[in-house]
């Protein structure tokens, strides 16, 4: 078999289409690599070899007969362990769901399977998806690509590690407050946060139903776009790439840049300078709406999360890592009236933000204000864990609160991503802009 290390999902699909790569051999390569990796068990909860090889054999037959279903037909994919998989444990990184076996695939897995994608297995994650650090002492903590001793970012930690450690060409995660973009940023990947409702969440273990979204973690924007087509059912014209001289970006100098670690800020400003040199028109200014919407966090995320899982956690208080449990319990005191008032305020702020940002193609920001902390320090100090988690999620969750789509791109600085926040339901346009930007900011 030809060397596939580091190749994108799109490149692998093209090799399959050209008859130069066998999907069964490719799938076995990844299964073998997972088994041989010193981090395999820390990245994957379990692999699904029987299913994967069966799907790969069908993909090989389609390739030979010229009936491939998509450009990613025959390409293996990893799945965060909150996507229901028929007959296979889906436990969302928590002992609370130990032994949970769904009867059918979730909708996005069904769509991916129909498009010919190969289900490699399920990846580790933060408990019930309620931590941005990716540290999970109850199951496993995947390694960070640049330093295994540091946090991988979460909650789609294993999804990011599966791609960055070359144990999958592409991974599927979820993003409620940053859980696709944050681990992508810390591991040098492209991560797409889709607009709420564009990709179905049927059969996905919920955290906050008003904010849960599904998206890919990938090596390229092209890969993210191809997978977005499959998961959403909406076409993405990746040939329609804008000229950067036609793009207008806004840098919000309110909150996004506050308290950023020097490395993150320097990487951001370097990427911005490259875009500006390439012809992009960039404006800067404060956005009051960002501060206003962040003030609603304690009433919205925690309320929904506690109502979803609070009773189960209270019944088994020792089953959940203390800092994660504290986040859930933070929603217990929030009343229904406070939640509804906050929701109303959120919608009002969203309308003002949309008007303010309407003249721009995207808002630019550092994906995270901080880099990945040392895992052992997080485990040894709950207060440090809490503070690091809140700071890590600050920039990304703004997009969730404002109902935006978001994309993080790798920069030339390890663990520092550039985030583009697009208008609601402009996922295709955001991906097209990302295609125009990725080579420039990574050069």
pLDDT in tens, 348-360: 999 999 999 999 9
Q: Which residue in the block uniquely carries the two structure tokens 């929603």?
A: 331
pLDDT for the residue numbered 318: 95
Q: Residues 88, 19: one domain?
A: yes
pLDDT tens, position by position, 264-319: 999 999 999 999 999 999 999 999 999 999 999 999 999 999 999 999 999 999 99
CATH number at residue 263: 3.90.1300.10
Query: Which residue among 7, 80, 193, 274 is the active-site one?
Result: 80
Report the candidate in 315, 440, 325 with the shortest Cα–Cα distance to residue 386: 325
- Four-residue CA torsion sign, 291, 293, 294, 295: positive
Asked if residue 35 belongs to a domain, the reply is yes
DSSP, residue by residue, 24-67: HHHHHHHHHHHHHSTTHHHHEEEE-HHHHHHHHHHHHHHHHHT-
Taking the C-alpha atoms of residue 42 and residue 190, their distance in angstroms, rounded to an integer, is 22
Asked if residue 1 belongs to a domain, the reply is no
Report the candidate in 102, 363, 334, 318 with the shortest Cα–Cα distance to residue 208: 334
What is the overall mean pLDDT for the chain?
98
Distances (CA, A) of 251 to 149, 370, 391, 412, 429: 33, 18, 19, 20, 18
Query: Which residue among 58, 94, 179, 184 is the active-site one?
Result: 179
CB within 8 A of 284, min separation 6: which ones?
Answer: 250, 251, 253
DSSP, residue by residue, 317-384: GGGS-HHHHHHHHTTTT--HHHHHHHHHHHHHHHHHHHHHHTT-SEEEEES-SS-PPBHHHHHH-HHH
Mean pLDDT of all residues in 66-76: 98
Q: Residues 20, 163: one domain?
A: yes
Asked if residue 239 belongs to a domain, the reply is no
Asked if residue 409 belongs to a domain, the reply is yes
Strand runs labelled E in 49-166: 76-80, 118-123
- Opening angle at CA 46, ends 188 and 97, nearest 5: 100
Among 178, 197, 232, identify where a domain stops. 232
Where in the sequence is the domain holding 61, given as residue range(s)? Answer: 9-232
Mean pLDDT of all residues in 327-343: 97
Mean pLDDT of all residues in 193-203: 98
Give yes or no: 155 in active site. Answer: yes
pLDDT tens, position by position, 300-311: 999 999 999 999
Q: Residues 213, 274: one domain?
A: no
- Compute the radius of gyration of the chain from its Cα atoms: 20
Domain count, the chain: 2
Among 198, 232, 266, identify where a domain stops. 232
Query: Which residue among 37, 94, 131, 155 is the active-site one?
Result: 155
Structure tokens, 151: 């946090």
Asked if residue 227 belongs to a domain, the reply is yes
* pLDDT band of 341, cuts 50, 70, 90: very high
pLDDT tens, position by position, 110-168: 999 999 999 999 999 999 999 999 999 999 999 999 999 999 999 999 999 999 999 99
pLDDT tens, position by position, 382-397: 999 999 999 999 999 9
Q: What percentage of residues in the chain have a pLDDT greater than 90?
A: 99
Among 209, 232, 255, identify where a domain stops. 232
Asked if residue 2 belongs to a domain, the reply is no
Taking the C-alpha atoms of residue 203 and residue 291, their distance in angstroms, rounded to an integer, is 34
Check pLDDT > 90 for residue 254. no
Mean pLDDT of all residues in 6-21: 98
Asked if residue 337 belongs to a domain, the reply is yes
Dihedral, CA atoms, 78, 82, 86, 87, nearest 10 degrees? 100
Q: Burial of 182 by CB count in 10 Å (0-12 exposed, 13-18 middle, 19+ buried)?
A: buried
Are 145 and 116 in contact by the 8 Å Cβ rule? The answer is no
Q: Residues 182, 290: one domain?
A: no
Are 134 and 141 in contact by the 8 Å Cβ rule? The answer is yes
Mean pLDDT of all residues in 71-100: 98
Asked if residue 413 belongs to a domain, the reply is yes
Q: Residues 338, 390: one domain?
A: yes
Q: Residues 89, 174: one domain?
A: yes
Q: Residues 310, 183: one domain?
A: no
């Amino acid at each position: 078999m030809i060397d596939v290390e580091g190749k994108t999902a799109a490149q692998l699909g093209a090799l399959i289409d050209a008859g130069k790569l066998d999907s069964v051999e490719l799938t076995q390569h990844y299964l073998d690599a997972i088994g041989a990796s010193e981090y395999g068990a820390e990245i994957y909860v379990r692999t699904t070899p029987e299913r994967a090889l069966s799907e790969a054999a069908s993909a090989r037959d389609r390739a030979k007969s010229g009936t491939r279903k998509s450009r990613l037909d025959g390409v293996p994919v990893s799945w965060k362990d909150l996507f229901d998989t028929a007959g296979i444990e889906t436990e969302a990184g928590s002992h609370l769901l130990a032994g949970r076996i769904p009867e059918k695939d979730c909708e996005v897995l069904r769509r991916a399977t129909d498009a010919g994608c190969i289900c490699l297995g399920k990846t580790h994650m933060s408990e019930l998806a309620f931590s941005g650090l990716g540290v999970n002492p109850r199951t496993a903590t995947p390694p960070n690509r640049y330093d295994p001793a540091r946090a991988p970012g979460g909650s789609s930690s294993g999804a990011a590690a599966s791609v960055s450690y070359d144990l999958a060409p592409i991974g599927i995660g979820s993003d409620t407050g940053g859980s696709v973009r944050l681990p992508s940023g810390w591991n040098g990947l492209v991560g797409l946060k889709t607009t709420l409702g564009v990709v179905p969440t049927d059969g996905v273990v919920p955290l906050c139903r008003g904010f849960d979204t599904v998206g890919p973690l990938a090596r390229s924007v092209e890969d993210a776009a191809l997978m977005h087509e499959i998961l959403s059912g909406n076409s993405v014209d990746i040939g329609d790439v804008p000229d950067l001289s036609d793009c207008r970006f806004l840098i919000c100098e309110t909150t996004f840049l506050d308290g950023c670690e020097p490395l993150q800020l320097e990487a951001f400003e370097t990427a911005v300078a490259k875009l500006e040199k390439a012809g992009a028109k960039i404006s800067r200014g404060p956005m009051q709406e960002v501060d206003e919407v962040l003030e609603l966090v304690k009433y919205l995320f925690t309320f929904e999360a506690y109502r979803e899982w609070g009773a189960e956690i209270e019944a088994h208080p020792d089953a959940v890592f203390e800092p994660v449990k504290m986040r859930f319990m933070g929603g217990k005191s929030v009343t229904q009236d406070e939640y509804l008032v906050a929701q109303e305020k959120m919608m009002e702020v969203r309308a003002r933000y949309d008007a303010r940002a309407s003249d721009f193609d995207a808002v630019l920001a550092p994906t995270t204000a901080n880099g990945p902390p040392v895992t052992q320090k997080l485990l040894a100090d709950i207060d440090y864990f809490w503070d690091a988690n809140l700071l890590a999620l600050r920039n990304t969750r703004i997009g969730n609160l404002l109902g935006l789509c978001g994309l993080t791109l790798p920069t030339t600085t390890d663990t520092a991503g550039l985030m583009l926040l697009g208008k609601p339901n402009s996922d295709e346009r955001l991906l097209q802009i990302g295609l125009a930007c990725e080579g420039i900011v990574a050069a």
